[in-house]
Structure formats: C-alpha cells, structure tokens
Amino acid sequence: MGSVLLLTLRRMRVPIILLISVYSIGIIGLVLIPGVDAEGRPWRMSFFHAFYFLSFTASTIGFGEIPSPFSDAQRLWVSAVIYLSVVGWAYTIARVLGLMQDRGFQQALTMARFRREVRGLSESFYVVCGYGETGAILCRALDRMRVRFVVLDIDAARIDEVDLQGYATDVPAFRGDVRIVSNLEMAGISHPFCRGVIAITSDDQANLSAAIATRLLNPSIPVVCRAMTREVARNMASFGTDHIINPFQRFGERLWLALHSPAVYRLLSRLTGLPGTTLAASGSPPHGRWIVCGYGRFGREIIGCFDREGLEATVIDPAPQPGGDGRPVVRGYGTEAGPLREAGVEQAVGIVAGTDNDVNNLSIAVTAREINPTLFVVLRQNQEANRPLFAAFNADMSMVSAEIVAHQCLSIVATPLLARFLGMAGTQPESWAAALVARLEEIVGTVVASTWGVPINAAAAPAVHHALMFEKHDLTLGTLLRDPTAREQPLACLALLLVREDEEIVLPAADLPLRPGDRLLFAGTDAARDLQRLTLRNANVRAYVHLGIDRPAGWLWKHLIRPSAVRAAESR
C-alpha cells in the first residue's frame, strides 16, 4: 500500500501544488483587499472567513457574499480566483483520470491487492509458479479437491485467464517473474500456511531459480519442479529439490511399464490420472521391432525404454548424429512413405511419432497407419490446443507433457502416500494388479479414481481420534468404509494403504483396528470422500456408523432422552 500512496503523490504533485497555490493566493488576497459594510465602514475579512468563502465558491457551489457584501475590488479578485480554481480542478481531474490509466499505477494497485489477499489466507495453500497448459490442468484439479493455491506467472493474459475459470474459491494471482525473489515472497513462500511451491513454468532456469529461492528462504516446505533436461534436473537435485519431474523420462518409464507389466500400468493409470476422466480402452504395447521418429530428448528416452526391455528400434531423424550409437538410422522426418518403408514399417509392430511438431506427428501417424494398419501408435502431443485433432486420430497411446507433469504434481501434493503405494504395487505380480484393477472398475467404472489421504489425528479426523483416545472405542477400518446415510451400505471407495509408524500394510482388511496416528490412503469417488469426511469429523455421525445409534445433537434432546439407553447402546 505504501508504493501506491507514494506513486499517487508523485504523479499528483503538480496539480496538488497548483490547487494549494490558487487557494492560498485567493485567501491572502481576500484578507488584504478591504471591503465596506452596510454602514459605510471599512472591514477586512479574517483568514477563517476567507478560507470558508473560497471553499464553497471556488468549488462552484455558490452561497453568497459573507459576512458583508463585497466591494468591487473584492468581487474582481474573487472572479479571478474562481476561474483559476476551475482551471486547477480541470487539470487535477485530467491528471487523476490519466493516473487511473497509468500502467505503473495499475500494477501497484494489483500488487497491493495481491499482497493483501495472500496475507489474508487462513488455510493451507500451494504457490503455483506458471499457469500455462500444465498449470491450468493442475489448478483445476486442486480446486476440485478443495486445495487452495496462489498463482504466479509472467504472462498477463494467463493471469487474466485465472479470473475467467470460475474456481470455487478466490484465487490470488499476480503477473510477475518467478526468478525475482520479491515476487516469490509476495506470493507467500514464507507464509505460515504455505504447504509448498510448485514450479512448472516452461523455462527450466525459472524453475531452478524458484527452487533455489524457496530452499534458502523457507527450507521447511517441499518444492516440486519441472525439468525438461537431465542437466537441469541434476542441478535442482544438488540444491535439495524434493521432487523433480521430467515428463519425457516419466513417459519412458510408463511405456516400459506398459511393455513389462501391463496390469500394473493399468493400475497406475487408474490412480494417477485426472479424477473423473474416462480412460481410453487401449491394448498393451506389443513386443517386436519399433520405429521412433525424432531422436531428440523424447526420442532418446523412448529408445532407452526399448533397450531396457530388449526390443529392436529403428530411428528416423532429419539430422542423425554422425557415428550414432550403432542402431539403424534413416534420414528423414517420417511424414512421407519413403523413409517409413526404408525403416521397415511393414514389418514393425509399433511406431512412436515423437517430434516437437504436432502436425508432423499426426502426419507420421496417419501415413504409417495407411501402410500398416496393425501398427501400435504412440503419439506425442505438444500443444493442448491440438487435442481435438489427436482425439480424432485416436492413437493407442498418447504422450501429453502437460498432463504427465500435472498428474505427477497432483499425486505428490494431494496424496503423498500414493507414490509409496505405487512403488510397492510395482513389486507385485501381474495377477495382483489385475485383481485390484477389477475391484476399482466395480467401484468407479471406467473413469480415473479419486485418491485421498486420511491421517487419524485431531485435525483431520477429530471424531474418530477422540473416540480412540478418550472414549476407548475399538474402531476398525470398516467404520470408514460405511455410508453415513445408511450404515448397511458400503461407500464407493477402497482402502489401498495403511501406514503405522514403520509398518506399511497394503490393501488392509476392513476388520483391522484403527490407532491414533495411522495414515490411510483411499481410492474411490468424490461422493464417497465427502461422505467419509462426515464420519471423520462429526461425532454423532461416527456414533451412528460405528454403533448404529442416533445420538442427540442438541442440548434439549440430550436431556429428554434417557442417558442409560445411549450408554447401553454404546456398550454393545
């Protein structure tokens, strides 16, 4: 607010001085010029009367000549002062209108409002640096999960887009460079309710700067960063960045998992996508010889995935590196039939269209499918705006960098236990993963399941925690899996993991007793999550779900019913 006031005073300095001068000169003239009263005696106006007269006259209000009729000299002087004041006010109003249109003044107002909004946050929030395609996907998911966030982006158009999204809560957003430390501080990285920083701009150096600044200014909060190159990722890791996401590397790992363990891959897709979105019913990538179009950062990750699985791959690239790495390389783009046939597309089992040009990728995929309709097509999508084109082609597997980063960020910040569960799921046999996928399909159908964590503590689960700590009830996990509106019915959710001190229990049984301090991971529908929250927070709902009794909620009902009846029900 100090910068707004200082800028206002600086820009309005001349008109303010002009008005003060006009009024001062007018007051002095009225005091010095003598008048004549009704009896013909000379009189002089006091400073108070002069100030009062000019206050209403020079402001075009008009009131009359006081305290006595003026002489001609006084009237001539007042006329001159009125014209001067009109000019002064016109000039002042013009400067005020110009000030309101001044970009610097608007920026100062926006900065003051943003700082005030962030300072007024009274619940946990994340600072999201970058509101491009990735940031927009992530923020929509966070808003759906009722997680507060603050947005910082260098592009004014993207900041304006935040206000147009219609989020459930007001989202503080500011146009600023994340490489400037003062912007990060203003966004709240040192705020007591800040839970972490998510740096997902398209500039690796900006993400690195945000990670370093956060690590130095507030090392207690986690930092999640996107890095498009392994070199920047190693630099981030050297500063202790908690989570580093390389979308090309992540997709390569996903592709290898789909090749090596298809059921585990389907399970991962069920749990790490955007909740509520429908999963495409595609088959598993086949084993055999593949063609990779584009040997840049993405292409190298894909080739590494094939090498890990022991698959042959031919590269098509317009500028192959001399010497190469010993694998077959065809010069070209792959958008024409010649290079594809030279690479052996008729005998290949799959093709990866992985260039950084969406039009070329679609052209590669269409041309390859015309030659070999049985090809398994992996298609890289670079721009979110081209989604309708890619959806119309309906590739077997799509790589959308923005979605991969957003999904990974979401699993880290919203459900930290999910990463632990997926790590353990990767060690399970295919039959185990296939059975779990079938159970999830029974619960949520063909859409991505919502995942959420539940710590059994006084803050997140006060009703359950109180019952365990003070009422000494023997609550089991099954209590949290019942519908609080009809306790005989199960909730549309599944317990995936229970963490108790150093013990990790995968797919815990419903009869497992709960203890204070337990941390649980669930997967299911949003409606089930909301209903479960009632059991966790409301003692009366918890008593109904656990004991089957309706506890009285009001003071009157507590005294009207027999307390012995309630105690008898609770003892069962």
The H or E element containing residue 249 is helix 247-260
The Cα-based distances of 17 to 11, 13, 30, 71 in angstroms read 12, 6, 20, 29
Would you tell me how many other CB atoms lie within 10 Å of the CB of residue 83?
12
**Which tens digit of pLDDT belongs to each residue from 252-297?**
988 998 998 888 888 888 888 767 677 766 678 999 999 999 988 8
Q: Which of 304-313, 320-329, 357-366, 484-493 has the lowest mean pLDDT?
A: 320-329
Helix, strand or coil, per DSSP, at residue 64: coil
pLDDT averaged over every residue in the chain = 86
Residue 61 confidence (pLDDT): 67
How much is the pLDDT for 566?
Answer: 42
Model confidence pLDDT, tens digit, residues 116-168? 999 999 999 999 999 998 999 899 888 887 889 999 999 989 998 998 888 88
**CA–CA separation, 340 vs 148, rounded Å?**
49
Q: Are 21 and 29 in contact (CB under 8 A)?
A: no
One-character DSSP codes across 461-519 = -HHHHHHHHTS----BGGGGGEETTEEEEEPSEEEEEEEETTEEEES--TTPBP-TT-E
Residue 180 has pLDDT above 90, yes or no: yes
DSSP state letters, 117-165:
HHHT--S-EEEEE--SHHHHHHHHHHHHTT-EEEEEES-HHHHHHHHHS
Instruction: List the structure tokens of 558.
Output: 């507590």
Residues in the chain: 572
Stretch 25-45: mean pLDDT: 84
Q: The tokens of 454 are what?
A: 């539940």
- Dump pLDDT digits (tens) for 48-103: 888 888 888 776 666 677 777 888 888 888 888 888 888 888 888 888 888 777 77
Contact present, 477 and 515 (Cβ < 8 Å): no
**The pLDDT of residue 568:** 43
Residue with tokens 């890990």: 308
**Residue listed under structure tokens 């610097």:** 104
